[in-house]
Chains A and B, each alone.
Chain A
Amino acid sequence: MPATHTTEKVARPPSAAPPPPVPRPAPRSVRLWRKLTPWLFLAAPLALLVAFTYAPVVNMLAYSFTDWDGVSPELSYIGADNYVEIFTRPELFQVFFVSGYYLAASAVQIALALYFATVLSFNVRLRNFFKGVLFFPYLINGVAIGFVFLYFFQDGGTLDSVLALFGYESDRAWLGTSTSANISLASVSVWRYLGLNFVLFLGAIQSIPGELYEAAELDGASRWHQFRYIIAPGIKPVLSLSVILSISGSLSVFEIPYIMTGGATGTETFVIQTTDLAFRFNKTGLASAAAVVLLLIILAVTWVQRRLVPDDKVDLT
């Protein structure tokens, strides 16, 4: 029906004036076609959204109450047993403590990012070079980063050699004990993700009008006062976004520890454990319950953040 295309109507914003009276009711096929058009555009996006986001969430909830192994055709309903197991078996619960290391690391990361963003928002020699260097790690492939730092922490590797330059001979295995390994891995995570926080902060700081600083300088405000009273309020939205990203990020750490230690020596994280449960030990039911718990925690954190910082308009442009 090619002729009907020409009568296509596009929606007006709600504020627009009421539509002019239609002289003659359009034929039924035209009206149908008109109604159908947006759905033709939305068919593919919605199908993918339902198939790969909503269906998994619903299925996951359903699996979490069963003892399914992911393969066999039969599964039986076992109530909340999986959830009880997660919260009562200490070795399953232990992964939450590992998240603590990454959470602490993200606090350090945000502080450092804030410092470098403030420093580089002023005119500094080689500013663009420093900006590029600080940001680049964020773009590097995770496996490559894992290997770079396996060599870094290796016996006689980069770290030991640098320490030797300063006359400190160390013969400790950096990834050998649980605490040391977790701190090392969390530091790698800071190395990797600092750049994103930094660039976000820098963008926010630079969107503050320059006259504000000039006025402050005329009034004799120090750098610290400029930070406290001009920069800090200006970047609050981005800061709250970064906090939320780091909390959910610390809970869903996977790549760095999986690539570097495989989760050995007490570095197993929530996602490594869930992946192992589901795909190595075929405990789909238990793994689903663990994933539901993680999802709920992340949703709760997001909700709290929305409540604390209701104005979540982040505008950098």
Chain B
Amino acid sequence: MTLAHPTTVVRRRVARTLTHLSLVVASLVVLLPLAVVFLTSLKSEQEMAKGSRALGLPDDLLNFRNYVTAFRDGEMLAAFGNTAFILLVAVTGTVVIGSMAAYAIDRFTFRFRKLVVALFLVATLVPGVTTQVATFQIVDSFGMFDSLWAPIALYMGTDIVSIYIFLQFVRSIPISLDEAARLDGANAFTIYRKIIFPLLRPAIATVVIVKGITVYNDFYIPFLYMPSEDLGVISTSLFRFKGPYAAHWETISAGTVLVILPTLIVFLALQRFIYNGFMRGATK
């Protein structure tokens, strides 16, 4: 056993304090802008007009009137409904399509298999945002423009990362399971439905979380494809606050908090899955 030299002890302590300080500062940088918006959302119109300071507390901590305004006049309820519908259909579709493609690619040998794999591989290199000019014309020619089906089809059709995540998992399922089932008289569809799909549960959880958050947050696609006001999703409806409430920061703040709150709840509840999910999603 060696005794540490006193100066190294001091230096270690200083280093540790500095690291902690940097973490505290970083947390403040993250949390302060959010906290201020939350405080603003509780302030009344009069308070704001009097020039309430950004960091000041609201007079009444339980003043939820701005939330009522945001919900009713900002049509946030309809927006949450539209988002929920798109989310449900697009995520279910992604899971079904991704797992089917992964099953076919991993478990069958067929002509052009290599070509199919290459097609999926190369597609990951094309960022969707660069091709919207032409994608728009295709969506329009399908008659999906300005309908909820445009984002649904695009979310389902351009998610190659999910196929990769599923492919990884299908590979790890032993083929002997398929073979045993086939001996019992199961066909390919039964094997997919009864054996592969249930065993993909961890991959499905990952895809649902990553895809769900991405769809919930997406702004570009609904903004481009659904200009009608009654087709607003939370991103586009919140964006529309900018016009009528331009000077009413208390209402905009309330809308912003309404949008962030579900994310916060999901994050707190599913933290571990979310970290793993985004790690898999980004590196595959």
A positions within 8 Å CB-CB of B: 5-6, 8, 10-14, 35, 37-39, 41-42, 44-46, 48-49, 51-57, 59-60, 63, 70, 115-116, 119-120, 124-126, 129-130, 132-144, 147-149, 151-152, 154, 156-158, 160-162, 165, 191, 196, 199-200, 203, 223, 238, 241, 245, 248, 252, 254-255, 259, 271, 274-275, 278-279, 284, 287-288, 291, 294-295, 298-299, 302, 314-317
Contacts known (A49-B120, A63-B134); A165 close to B126, Cβ less than 8 A: no
B147 within 8 A of A: no
Residues of A within 8 A of B182 (CB): 8, 10
Nearest residue (CB) in B for A116 is: B26
CB distance from B87 to the nearest CB of A (A): 13
Is the Cβ of A48 less than 8 Å from the Cβ of B153? yes
Residues of B within 8 A of A160 (CB): 54
Nearest residue (CB) in B for A136 is: B267
Is the Cβ of A143 less than 8 Å from the Cβ of B219? yes
Is the Cβ of A144 less than 8 Å from the Cβ of B256? yes
Interface residues of B in 207-253 (CB under 8 A from A): 213, 216-217, 219-220, 224, 234-236, 238-239, 241, 249, 252-253
Query: Contacts A151-B33, A279-B224 given; 4 further ones with Cβ under 8 A?
Result: A10-B188, A37-B188, A162-B55, A254-B129
Docked complex Cα distance between A142 and B217 (Å): 6
Residues of B within 8 A of A124 (CB): 19-20, 23
Docked complex Cα distance between A144 and B254 (Å): 10
Is the Cβ of B267 less than 8 Å from the Cβ of A139? yes
Contact with A along B11-25 (1 / 0, CB 8 A): 000010001101100
Docked complex Cα distance between A35 and B188 (Å): 12
B107 within 8 A of A: yes
Is the Cβ of B23 less than 8 Å from the Cβ of A119? yes
Is the Cβ of A119 less than 8 Å from the Cβ of B107? no
The A interface is mostly helix, strand or loop, or mixed, namely helix
Contacts known (A162-B55, A165-B55); A295 close to B133, Cβ less than 8 A: no
**A-B residue pairs in contact (CB < 8 Å), sample of 23:** A10-B191, A11-B109, A39-B104, A44-B97, A45-B98, A48-B157, A52-B138, A57-B131, A125-B20, A130-B27, A133-B27, A135-B275, A143-B236, A143-B238, A157-B54, A191-B33, A199-B275, A200-B283, A203-B275, A255-B219, A278-B133, A287-B133, A295-B127
Docked complex Cα distance between A204 and B173 (Å): 25
Residues of B within 8 A of A291 (CB): 130-134
CB distance from A279 to the nearest CB of B (A): 7
CB distance from B23 to the nearest CB of A (A): 5
Is the Cβ of B20 less than 8 Å from the Cβ of A10? no
Docked complex Cα distance between A275 and B87 (Å): 25
Docked complex Cα distance between A93 and B268 (Å): 44
Docked complex Cα distance between A45 and B166 (Å): 13
Residues of B within 8 A of A59 (CB): 134, 137-138
- Which 7 pairs between the two chains have the least Cβ-Cβ distance? A48-B157, A5-B187, A41-B104, A11-B109, A38-B108, A52-B157, A56-B134
Is the Cβ of A133 less than 8 Å from the Cβ of B30? yes
CB distance from B152 to the nearest CB of A (A): 11
Contacts known (A51-B138, A51-B157, A255-B219); A148 close to B55, Cβ less than 8 A: no
Is the Cβ of A147 less than 8 Å from the Cβ of B158? no
Docked complex Cα distance between A279 and B116 (Å): 33
Is the Cβ of A49 less than 8 Å from the Cβ of B133? no
Residues of A within 8 A of B113 (CB): 38
Is the Cβ of A278 less than 8 Å from the Cβ of B108? no
Nearest residue (CB) in B for A9 is: B182
Is the Cβ of B238 less than 8 Å from the Cβ of A57? no
Is the Cβ of A254 less than 8 Å from the Cβ of B220? yes
Contact with A along B125-164 (1 / 0, CB 8 A): 1111111111111100000000000000110111010010
Is the Cβ of B131 less than 8 Å from the Cβ of A56? yes
Nearest residue (CB) in B for A252 is: B129
Is the Cβ of B30 less than 8 Å from the Cβ of A140? no
Docked complex Cα distance between A129 and B160 (Å): 33
Residues of A within 8 A of B187 (CB): 5-6, 8
B103 within 8 A of A: yes
Interface residues of B in 99-122 (CB under 8 A from A): 100-101, 103-105, 107-110, 113, 116, 119-120
Nearest residue (CB) in A for B179 is: A10
Residues of A within 8 A of B27 (CB): 129-130, 133-134
B32 within 8 A of A: yes
CB distance from A284 to the nearest CB of B (A): 6
Residues of B within 8 A of A116 (CB): 22-23, 26
Is the Cβ of A136 less than 8 Å from the Cβ of B264? yes
Docked complex Cα distance between A294 and B32 (Å): 36
Docked complex Cα distance between A200 and B278 (Å): 8
Residues of B within 8 A of A70 (CB): 136-137
CB distance from A25 to the nearest CB of B (A): 19
Docked complex Cα distance between A232 and B206 (Å): 28
B199 within 8 A of A: no
Nearest residue (CB) in A for B238 is: A143
Is the Cβ of A284 less than 8 Å from the Cβ of B138? no
CB distance from B251 to the nearest CB of A (A): 11
Docked complex Cα distance between A280 and B167 (Å): 41
